[in-house]
C-alpha cells in the first residue's frame, strides 16, 4: 500500500464476530463449505486469509469467524481511519463490544444514508465495503441508486459490493441495470458453485468492485483459481470469472 492515509468504510458491519458452532452456522452449513475447507487447504495463496481467521481464535480449528469489521481492522495502519456502521441496535451493541480497543468509529445509521454522508472521504483515498444480508426486497435497487449517487460525489474511490448468487436470470437483470450507470472501471468477480442453478439455495457469491487497484487485478487470477479449487462442492467443478462490466455488455 501507498503510505498515504486510507479511510475504510463498512456500511453493513453486523456483529463483527460469529460463532461457527452457533445455530445459524450449523443450520446453513456454510462454514463447512467455506472456512473449514480453506483451513484444510495448504495453498499458500490463502495464507493471509487463514492468518486473519486465526487472529480471532485461540488456536487449532476455528470456532469463531471474523466478520468484515475484523478483517478491515487487521489491515489498519496507524494513519488509517475505520468507520463501521450497523443499523440494528442489538447488533450494533455487540459490534461495539467486539471492536472495543480498536480505533474504529461505530455508527448506528441507515447504511445507504451513511454511505453517501461519508463521501468524499476525509483522506485522499478510501474504500467502501457494502455487504448487506439481502433480506429486503429493495436491497438491489437501493444499492444501484446509492452507487450512482456515490459515484457522482466520489468518482475515484474504491467500492466493493458483495452479493449472493441465487439464479442467473435475476442476477443478469441486475447487472444490466448497473451497466446502465456507465461507471468505468467496474469489475465483476463471480463464483458459481454449480453448472446449473440449484433451486432454493445460494449458488455462489460475487463482488462488484469499482476502481480496483491495478496490482489487485494482476494478483487476482491465481487467487481465484485457488478459491475455486478449494471451495468446489463435491462432484462439481465450479466456475469463477472476473470481467469488466462494460466489456460484458458488448
CA 56, 75, 221, 240 dihedral sign is: positive
Q: What pLDDT score was predicted for residue 109?
A: 98
Please choose, from the candidates 20, 40, 17, the residue with its C-alpha nearest in 3D space to the C-alpha of residue 30.
20
Q: Are 233 and 170 in contact (CB under 8 A)?
A: no
* pTM for the whole structure: 0.93
Q: What pLDDT score was predicted for residue 249?
A: 52
Please choose, from the candidates 92, 86, 146, the residue with its C-alpha nearest in 3D space to the C-alpha of residue 119.
146
**pLDDT reading at 93 higher than 70:** yes
Radius of gyration of the chain (CA): 18
Q: To 10 degrees, what angle do helices 168-179 and 139-153 make?
A: 20
Tens of pLDDT, residues 102-113: 999 999 999 999
Stretch 117-140: mean pLDDT, rounded? Answer: 97
Q: What pLDDT score was predicted for residue 27?
A: 66
Higher-confidence residue: 64 or 197? 64
Q: Are 161 and 212 in contact (CB under 8 A)?
A: no
Planar angle of CA 112, 117, 119, nearest 5 degrees: 105
**pLDDT reading at 250 higher than 60:** no
| pLDDT tier, 217 (very low <50, low <70, confident <90, very high otherwise) | very high
Task: Report the C-alpha gap between 32 and 11 in whole angstroms.
Answer: 27
Pick the range with the lowest mean pLDDT from 23-32, 36-45, 78-87, 152-161. 23-32
Higher-confidence residue: 201 or 113? 113
Q: What pLDDT score was predicted for residue 36?
A: 85
Q: Are 228 and 191 in contact (CB under 8 A)?
A: yes
Task: Report the C-alpha gap between 142 and 5 in whole angstroms.
Answer: 29
| Interacting residues of 223 by C-beta distance below 8 A, sequence separation 6+ | 45
Tens of pLDDT, residues 229-243: 998 887 788 899 999
Residues in the chain: 250
**pLDDT reading at 82 higher than 60:** yes
Task: Report the C-alpha gap between 206 and 190 in whole angstroms.
Answer: 4
Task: Report the C-alpha gap between 226 and 101 in whole angstroms.
Answer: 34
| pLDDT tier, 32 (very low <50, low <70, confident <90, very high otherwise) | confident
**What is the C-alpha end-to-end distance of the chain, expressed in Å?**
33
Amino acid at each position: 500500500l501507498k503510505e498515504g492515509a486510507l479511510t475504510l468504510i463498512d456500511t453493513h458491519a453486523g456483529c463483527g464476530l460469529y460463532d461457527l458452532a452457533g445455530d445459524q452456522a450449523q443450520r446453513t452449513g456454510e462454514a463447512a463449505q467455506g472456512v473449514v475447507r480453506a483451513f484444510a487447504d495448504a495453498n499458500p495463496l490463502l495464507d493471509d486469509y487463514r492468518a486473519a481467521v486465526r487472529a480471532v481464535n485461540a488456536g487449532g480449528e476455528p470456532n469463531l469467524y471474523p466478520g468484515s469489521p475484523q478483517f478491515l481492522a487487521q489491515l489498519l495502519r496507524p494513519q488509517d481511519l475505520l468507520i463501521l456502521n450497523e443499523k440494528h441496535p442489538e447488533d450494533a451493541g455487540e459490534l461495539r463490544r467486539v471492536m472495543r480497543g480498536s480505533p474504529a468509529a461505530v455508527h448506528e445509521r441507515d447504511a445507504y444514508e451513511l454511505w453517501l454522508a461519508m463521501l468524499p472521504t476525509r483522506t485522499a483515498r478510501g474504500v467502501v465495503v457494502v455487504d448487506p444480508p439481502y433480506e429486503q426486497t429493495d436491497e438491489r435497487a437501493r444499492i444501484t441508486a446509492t452507487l450512482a449517487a456515490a459515484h457522482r460525489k466520489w468518482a475515484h474511490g474504491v467500492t466493493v459490493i458483495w452479493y449472493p448468487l441465487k439464479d442467473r436470470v435475476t442476477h443478469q437483470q441486475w447487472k444490466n441495470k448497473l451497466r446502465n450507470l456507465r461507471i468505468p472501471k467496474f469489475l465483476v468477480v463471480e463464483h458459481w458453485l454449480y453448472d446449473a442453478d440449484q433451486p432454493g439455495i445460494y449458488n455462489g457469491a460475487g463482488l462488484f468492485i469499482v476502481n480496483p487497484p491495478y496490482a489487485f487485478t494482476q494478483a487476482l487470477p491465481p487467487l481465484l483459481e485457488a478459491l475455486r479449487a478449494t471451495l468446489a462442492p463435491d462432484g462439481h467443478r465450479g466456475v469463477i470469472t472476473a470481467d469488466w462490466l462494460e466489456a460484458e455488455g458488448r
